[in-house]
Structure 1
């Protein structure tokens, strides 16, 4: 029985692994999650039927704590003797690849979920690039979750092309098309309840779902929506997700959002509630500066929503421009406004993009990703 350890830095990353470890357990693997202790991680492991290998790990750079974490991972690898480690997110991947090299793990895989250095400058940017190079050097194989991430990594000489795979059209875990299915009556009930309780029945609803941070383009989205609302008070912006204060430079933005008459800041919802909230939207908008892969864009497409996003890393791979949505340049408020106005005024185009989106999402069925992973594990 092959022993597979999958590693994450933050508890929230279990959302990027839903169903995966359960699938590989069914294939005969002994599966483990390497990550921090939390109720969320524990619940994930119980549901997936995997063992939780608990580590105390910081997301940000912390030399003394990182050395302690490295030693913990080395001890874990020595005890478990895994055949395969597949680590994603920068910190656990760097420490895990160092530990895996020290212990002599036979197959070390780095799942590259995007590059944090994209929006950084100066010394921090240089340090983050260096960390990525070390991680990739120590990995036997790198899986990039999108073609644009692969291109960026090659251009920055982080890894060589012969060491990198992108599974099918990309994504780290695919999309659960059984969950993101607009035909399910339960979601229609949620949609009606949301639109009724939030008084959206006669409004046109732009929707955003995810962490509310600068790099998701929230500043541009707020400014553009505000201009649209000033000319049409029928417009609404439904924000679904938590504010992450340490990733919002201008805190005034939070006050402006919360005080805006056209914006509903709903907050965080459970993963199983996401499809119903998406159905309550008319258009999905994610003007992100970059992503590893825009999973939420494919989820929205699967629910039959037209989408608007950017030509940034990761988002450019998740939308078929002119087929199921519109892509605009990163941080280009003029083009973003044009796209939002176009979608608001053109019902025929919205319906066409929405119908096409359901077909587009089939390219990212999670079974395709799992099949690709199994092939890599057995090479």
Structure 2
């Protein structure tokens, strides 16, 4: 029986590997998740039937804590003796690849989910690039979750074209098309939620799912909606996801969104398909992504998508087919696209139908089967 260790840095990243370890357990692997101690991680391991390998990890650079974490990772790997490791997200990948190399793990895979250095400057950027180069150098194979991420990695000499690959059209885990299926949401469920949120059938809803932070373009989305609402107060903006105040440059933005009569801030929700089902247009004006998973989830629910023509984000949308790709940080372009979809019902419906076809490229099992082929290599 092959032993597989998958690693993530932050507890919230369990959503990036939903269903994955259960699938590999069903294939006969002995599965482990290396991640911090957290209720979300505990719940994931129970649901997926994997063994938790706890490690205290910091997202930011912290030399003393990182050294302690490296010894924890080494201890786990020496005890488990895995045949395959697959680490994703920067910190656990760096420490995990170093430790896996030291203990002689035969198959070391780095899942590159994007680059934090893209919008950094100076010494911090230099350090982050160096960390990525070390991680990639210790990996046998690098899985890039989008073609644009792979391009950035090659251009910055982090890894070679020969060492890196993208599985099909991208994404790290694929999309659960059974869960993100508009036919699985009943009319009664939608009616109850709309009533709770004060929405009528005539209300037009723009939607967003993700962390409420600068990098996701939340300020541009707020400003664009504000302008549209000033001319049409029947519009609504539905924001699903947690706020991270430390990553909002405008300390008053969350309060302004929360108090705006046209904006519904509902926090993190477990039933994302239900919330997507009451939206008319999905918006993700991110500055960069690893891969815009939620854009594909929205497409799978039959929504037209407005996203940005930037790393990771542009791979998740077929421009002019199921969505529109805009310049990042452009409130004017975002407002124009939002207005277009409001005005043109025919385009809105056609893009929504096209999204159902687009999403089929990202079905989870296709991604996992391709991973399994890599895991079989020695």
Q: Same fold (TM over 0.5)?
A: yes
Tell me whether 95-104 or 188-197 shows the greater mean CA deviation.
188-197
Partners of 2:312 and 2:278 in 1: how far apart? Answer: 25
Partner of 2:207: 207
The answer to whether 1:190 aligns with 2:189 is yes
Deviation, structure 1 residue 191 = 2.1
Partners of 2:318 and 2:221 in 1: how far apart? Answer: 21
Partners of 2:251 and 2:129 in 1: how far apart? Answer: 28
| Superposition map of 1:347-362 within 5 A | 347-362=345-360
Deviation, structure 1 residue 189 = 2.9
2:344 to 340, 343, 346: 346
Partners of 1:8 and 1:140 in 2: how far apart? Answer: 18
Tell me whether 15-24 or 246-255 shows the greater mean CA deviation.
246-255
Partners of 2:192 and 2:91 in 1: how far apart? Answer: 41
Q: Note the residue ranges of structure 1 that are not aligned, 5 or more in a row.
A: none
Deviation, structure 1 residue 31 = 0.6
The answer to whether 1:19 aligns with 2:3 is no
- Post-superposition Cα deviations, 1:152-209, rounded to whole Å, max 9, x if no partner, equal 11111111110001000000000000101101144x3332222222122132110001
Look up the SS of the partner of 1:13 in the other structure: helix
Partners of 2:358 and 2:294 in 1: how far apart? Answer: 13
Whether the aligned pair in 2 keeps the contact of 1:190 and 1:277 (CA below 8 Å) is no
Whether the aligned pair in 1 keeps the contact of 2:207 and 2:279 (CA below 8 Å) is yes
The answer to whether 1:326 aligns with 2:292 is no
Partner of 2:288: 290
Q: Note the residue ranges of structure 2 that are not aligned, 5 or more in a row.
A: none
Partner of 1:176: 176
The answer to whether 1:157 aligns with 2:145 is no
Partners of 1:58 and 1:105 in 2: how far apart? Answer: 24
Partner of 2:376: 378
RMSD of Structure 2 on Structure 1 (CA): 0.9
Partner of 1:114: 114
The answer to whether 1:62 aligns with 2:44 is no
| Superposition map of 1:1-379 within 5 A | 1-186=1-186, 188-201=187-200, 202-270=202-270, 273-379=271-377
Whether the aligned pair in 1 keeps the contact of 2:285 and 2:308 (CA below 8 Å) is yes
Whether the aligned pair in 2 keeps the contact of 1:192 and 1:280 (CA below 8 Å) is no
Tell me whether 257-266 or 61-70 shows the greater mean CA deviation.
257-266
- Post-superposition Cα deviations, 1:94-127, rounded to whole Å, max 9, x if no partner, equal 0011111111111111000011112222221111
Look up the SS of the partner of 1:175 in the other structure: coil
Deviation, structure 1 residue 330 = 1.0
Look up the SS of the partner of 1:82 in the other structure: coil
- Post-superposition Cα deviations, 1:238-295, rounded to whole Å, max 9, x if no partner, equal 101110111111112112212212111111111xx10010011110000001110000
Look up the SS of the partner of 1:61 in the other structure: coil
Look up the SS of the partner of 1:183 in the other structure: helix
Tell me whether 188-197 or 42-51 shows the greater mean CA deviation.
188-197
The number of aligned residues is 376
Partners of 2:183 and 2:68 in 1: how far apart? Answer: 49
TM-score, scaled to structure 2 = 0.98
- Post-superposition Cα deviations, 1:38-78, rounded to whole Å, max 9, x if no partner, equal 11111111111111111111111111111000001111111
Partners of 2:123 and 2:232 in 1: how far apart? Answer: 45
TM-score, scaled to structure 1 = 0.98
Whether the aligned pair in 2 keeps the contact of 1:283 and 1:305 (CA below 8 Å) is yes
Whether the aligned pair in 1 keeps the contact of 2:185 and 2:273 (CA below 8 Å) is no
